[in-house]
Chain A
């Protein structure tokens, strides 16, 4: 998107009206993205075991990374050895290694902070980043929601004061499709037709009995829009079999399939897709690698690596990368020290995220963590 002079003036005017803005905002840079894929590593992914490798520790007394490091497409930058597919693509990315906040005790509170940017105040509920994007960019069409979550519905993803219309459609597994959009398993097309015919008749009778009632009319109209959404092309987006088998396989397991679906959703006009990586059974703890969770953490990293690399390549090939901001993040990092069981505790004072696409000036890392 090119900024016009009028845009700049509008931005400046809006900033001037904001009680909180202290400095001029006219120089605020704007990226080229109109959609975002937000990859969520719930549990607190260890930055030093992924995108911020340090000297290796021994898994017991001596602190440090758990794996060796490998070179990347950016000279001088290294990542963990289990990110070998992503490493050559790192020139499409920005690693941010300077994230910090003060909540390391509790996952939900930290996850809420990362999603909303605020601590709870008790007088207002702040919206999640997905709801903010929905509010700012709106939907592209009536039949496509702005904000989709692959994961469990929870407070950190809620729209807060922005209101229900900036909430999300969610699914917990790729194969089941979005909650509320797919017909129950025992209702085929013929039965659905019969149902909707009956419903239409009942609706007409009700409308006839309440002439001049605009609320009844709009209720009926909204209901019809719902059925239109469920019967629309949007639902087909969830059918991954429409993609070539080789592409599907390149993405890997459940998390990879979610990433592929995210690409399809962005293509269909969704603005914000949060993809949760919650395959805890791979190592018994997910990214929350206390104690023995550390032992098989590499399986998580490899799974992430395959999906992330496939997504970046696929977005680029589909010419979506420049208009899509890919964010990979988590609620906090983990310390270089090991706990009694050979795993790691929580650490929020320094951790990492990765940004990609969106026409970002990619390559050199942002921030440094000693």
Chain B
């Protein structure tokens, strides 16, 4: 992006700021409840009015684990914990927030979220199941640069750049879909305006104020010209049949011209948007309607998304469907939206406001009540939640100090086929870099065993290998399969295994008393020192083997796990390729090769301790 463009965006933000100054801002009310910043005044006043009591403040270490997960997507390292504890108590939380917001993990954690919301769905093998191209790296770069959010939205909607190499043009793709821009219209409207057009895909929406024409008019804008209603996007009516509940106003084959359908949200496109470089004018217009200052819905929807991500439940629910929304705290919502706009659409500013509040830093509320229930939405504290799939998998690797060691996300290592058929998505280092493994052909030689073991855990915890439709709230309720896959699956086995690349192996080899080993282990895994009872129990278990644990002169076993690159698309149906993969699967099942530097008895007992820790509810639940 050129210097002029940056200046132009800055100028626009300045204008919007001036506009806002002329409208009345919500006044934070007085309250006797604990207040860290103005956010707490809005929440506190309601608590008082409802005679509800806030939960207690989290302990410092609970706070650090939560805020580190929420900003960087992983648990804190022992080094981070030590830095945190070295700061004076009065400022350590604030300083931690500052450090974390500046960390690169910020981008990792947000990419995973927007992959879901924007239905990023690349396929590595002849993509034809409503696949997009990969736009994850563009998302990553945008969050790493903390791109102003209105600019990010504009770039996305412009859909310029490369489809296969990671640019926002990848968003435009929807393979095998006969109305791709209709799908995109629903995604964009839901993501940034809380307008759920899903039902209007095939008929006028029965429970939302949207006609099918609205969806297709927006689709036409994104298409740059009129669109024709495909025969599949309708409900067949049978002559003499029962009168259906839905109305179908459009006929198959009907031509729909570009038109902005949400005049109630914004009657005018923002004319102050910096000039685009060659994007379709009607796409530009969509962006201008969405991010323009006249559109009050956009900053509110984003503020609510940030709130929901950190507090567990939105001020508005469902966060992607505002048609019948009643905000629990309308003034707080407006306050956050204004702060967001005034800051120049800075997501970090919004995040800092929420993370610095007392309400965010309180102990979680463990209701199993409905998300929308009045009690939950008073925000006596954040809603208790589990780590997301990505947080879990990334945190496990961080705790064990192990790499993903995954195969490349690529089914044609020979590289002799075009990118539109075979994408090489690279070797993943974080969970958001994983893709659907695309073995619809069900062929053993197309399996990627290590990647599969990671995908198994991710999938059980709510990650979607196929994101054919956008999702704001995941289907990730606790299930026995989650327990089973972590306890018995390959990934869990590898993480608890004391191999020579494990951080726990290195710890156990150090010349430290058992007590220290336990303390360090607890810090690494649970971000806290062990309790008295836990120390007693684990000392009793490990002490007999501890003094003799080190095997003198034993050699380091390098994992040396390499994917056999002899298998590629051209030969994957051969017997050899099949055998190679089956053999890899079998070897992997044994887990990483154990270290020889620790005596087997000690090693196994210590592994069992690690296994119990990562499988305990405490590990997966956000404090």
Do A108 and B128 touch (CB < 8 A)?
Answer: yes
Do A223 and B483 touch (CB < 8 A)?
Answer: yes
Do B198 and A43 touch (CB < 8 A)?
Answer: no
What size tier do the contact residues of chain A reach? Answer: 35 or more
Point out the residues of chain B lying under 8 angstroms from A218, CB to CB: 368, 478
Evaluate whether A284 and B612 lie within 8 angstroms (CB atoms) in the complex, with A23-B238, A120-B176 already known.
no
Point out the residues of chain A lying under 8 angstroms from B438, CB to CB: 108, 154-155
Evaluate whether A152 and B488 lie within 8 angstroms (CB atoms) in the complex, with A121-B201, A219-B386 already known.
no
Name A215's contact: one of B129, B197, B368 (CB within 8 Å): B368
Name A278's contact: one of B176, B444, B534 (CB within 8 Å): B444
Point out the residues of chain B lying under 8 angstroms from A201, CB to CB: 534, 537, 612
For residue B182, CB closer than 8 A to chain A, the reply is yes
Query: Which of B386, B475, B574, B609: most chain A CB closer than 10 A?
Result: B475
Minimum C-beta distance from A194 to chain B (A) = 5
Of B5-13, B239-247, B318-326, the stretch lying at the interface with chain A is: B239-247
Evaluate whether A194 and B608 lie within 8 angstroms (CB atoms) in the complex, with A19-B235, A22-B238, A108-B438 already known.
yes
Point out the residues of chain A lying under 8 angstroms from B384, CB to CB: 213, 215-216
A-B interface contact total, Cβ < 8 Å? 269
Distance, CA A213 to CA B437, complexed state (A): 38
For residue B507, CB closer than 8 A to chain A, the reply is no
Q: A168-210 vs B: 1/0 string, CB under 8 Å? A: 0100110010011111111000010011001101110110001
Do A124 and B198 touch (CB < 8 A)?
Answer: yes
Minimum C-beta distance from B623 to chain A (A) = 9
For residue B408, CB closer than 8 A to chain A, the reply is no
Do B129 and A108 touch (CB < 8 A)?
Answer: yes
For residue A167, CB closer than 8 A to chain B, the reply is yes
For residue A40, CB closer than 8 A to chain B, the reply is yes
Evaluate whether A182 and B488 lie within 8 angstroms (CB atoms) in the complex, with A123-B469, A167-B481, A206-B616 already known.
yes
- Chain B, residue nearest A105 (CB): B128
Q: A112-153 vs B: 1/0 string, CB under 8 Å? A: 100000011111110000000000000000000000000111
- Chain B, residue nearest A151 (CB): B442
Do B615 and A184 touch (CB < 8 A)?
Answer: no
Distance, CA A367 to CA B178, complexed state (A): 30
Point out the residues of chain A lying under 8 angstroms from B541, CB to CB: 198
Do B487 and A230 touch (CB < 8 A)?
Answer: yes
- Chain B, residue nearest A223 (CB): B483
Name A191's contact: one of B367, B466, B604, B617 (CB within 8 Å): B604
Point out the residues of chain A lying under 8 angstroms from B158, CB to CB: none
Name A226's contact: one of B445, B455, B487 (CB within 8 Å): B487
Evaluate whether A230 and B235 lie within 8 angstroms (CB atoms) in the complex, with A106-B126, A122-B186, A198-B612 already known.
no
Do B439 and A154 touch (CB < 8 A)?
Answer: yes
Point out the residues of chain A lying under 8 angstroms from B236, CB to CB: 22
Name B609's contact: one of A16, A198, A210 (CB within 8 Å): A198
Query: Which of B245, B488, B590, B612: most chain A CB closer than 10 A?
Result: B488
Distance, CA A361 to CA B238, complexed state (A): 29
Minimum C-beta distance from B248 to chain A (A) = 10
Point out the residues of chain B lying under 8 angstroms from A120, CB to CB: 129-130, 176-177, 468
Distance, CA A194 to CA B493, complexed state (A): 16
Q: B418-477: which residues lie under 8 A (CB-CB) from chain A? A: 436-447, 452, 455-456, 459-460, 462, 465-466, 468-469, 475-477
Do A219 and B617 touch (CB < 8 A)?
Answer: yes
Do B130 and A152 touch (CB < 8 A)?
Answer: no
Do A108 and B198 touch (CB < 8 A)?
Answer: no
Q: A233-276 vs B: 1/0 string, CB under 8 Å? A: 00000000000000000000000000000000000000000001
Do A152 and B442 touch (CB < 8 A)?
Answer: yes
Do B615 and A109 touch (CB < 8 A)?
Answer: no
Q: A278-326: which residues lie under 8 A (CB-CB) from chain B? A: 278, 280-281, 284-286, 288
For residue A111, CB closer than 8 A to chain B, the reply is yes
Do B468 and A214 touch (CB < 8 A)?
Answer: no
Distance, CA A107 to CA B489, complexed state (A): 29
Query: Which of A120, A156, A222, A286: most chain B CB closer than 10 A?
Result: A120
Do A219 and B466 touch (CB < 8 A)?
Answer: no
Name B442's contact: one of A16, A212, A223, A276 (CB within 8 Å): A276
Do A183 and B488 touch (CB < 8 A)?
Answer: yes
Evaluate whether A172 and B585 lie within 8 angstroms (CB atoms) in the complex, with A19-B246, A109-B176, A213-B384 already known.
yes
Point out the residues of chain B lying under 8 angstroms from A227, CB to CB: 483, 487
For residue B485, CB closer than 8 A to chain A, the reply is yes
For residue B125, CB closer than 8 A to chain A, the reply is yes
Of A28-36, A72-80, A158-166, the stretch lying at the interface with chain B is: A158-166
For residue A21, CB closer than 8 A to chain B, the reply is yes
What size tier do the contact residues of chain B reach? Answer: 35 or more
Evaluate whether A205 and B176 lie within 8 angstroms (CB atoms) in the complex, with A22-B237, A42-B441, A180-B488 already known.
no
Distance, CA A53 to CA B534, complexed state (A): 71
Minimum C-beta distance from B325 to chain A (A) = 20
Q: B166-203 vs A: 1/0 string, CB under 8 Å? A: 00000000101111101110100000000001100110
Minimum C-beta distance from A116 to chain B (A) = 10
- Chain B, residue nearest A126 (CB): B468
Do B129 and A112 touch (CB < 8 A)?
Answer: yes
Do A173 and B487 touch (CB < 8 A)?
Answer: no
Point out the residues of chain B lying under 8 angstroms from A163, CB to CB: 475
Do A179 and B485 touch (CB < 8 A)?
Answer: yes
For residue B591, CB closer than 8 A to chain A, the reply is yes
Do B442 and A180 touch (CB < 8 A)?
Answer: no
Point out the residues of chain A lying under 8 angstroms from B557, CB to CB: none
- Chain A, residue nearest B383 (CB): A215
Distance, CA A214 to CA B368, complexed state (A): 6
Name A122's contact: one of B126, B182, B366, B613 (CB within 8 Å): B182
Distance, CA A284 to CA B573, complexed state (A): 5
Do B612 and A124 touch (CB < 8 A)?
Answer: no
Point out the residues of chain A lying under 8 angstroms from B589, CB to CB: 176, 184-185
Do B126 and A108 touch (CB < 8 A)?
Answer: yes
Q: B217-255 vs A: 1/0 string, CB under 8 Å? A: 000000000000000110111100110111000000000
Do B483 and A154 touch (CB < 8 A)?
Answer: no
- Chain A, residue nearest B386 (CB): A219
Distance, CA A42 to CA B573, complexed state (A): 13
Evaluate whether A195 and B608 lie within 8 angstroms (CB atoms) in the complex, with A108-B440, A154-B439 already known.
yes
Query: Which of A22, A105, A216: most chain B CB closer than 10 A?
Result: A22
Query: Which of B437, B468, B586, B613: most chain A CB closer than 10 A?
Result: B468
Point out the residues of chain B lying under 8 angstroms from A27, CB to CB: none
- Sample of 8 more A-B contacts, CB < 8 Å, known A107-B440, A124-B201, A198-B608: A109-B128, A121-B233, A122-B180, A125-B466, A153-B456, A185-B590, A212-B366, A214-B367
A-B pairs with lowest CB-CB distance, top 3: A122-B183, A226-B483, A213-B366
Sampled A-B contacts (18; CB under 8 Å): A19-B206, A108-B128, A122-B183, A123-B201, A153-B437, A154-B436, A164-B460, A180-B488, A195-B608, A201-B537, A201-B612, A202-B613, A215-B366, A215-B367, A219-B478, A278-B442, A284-B573, A285-B573
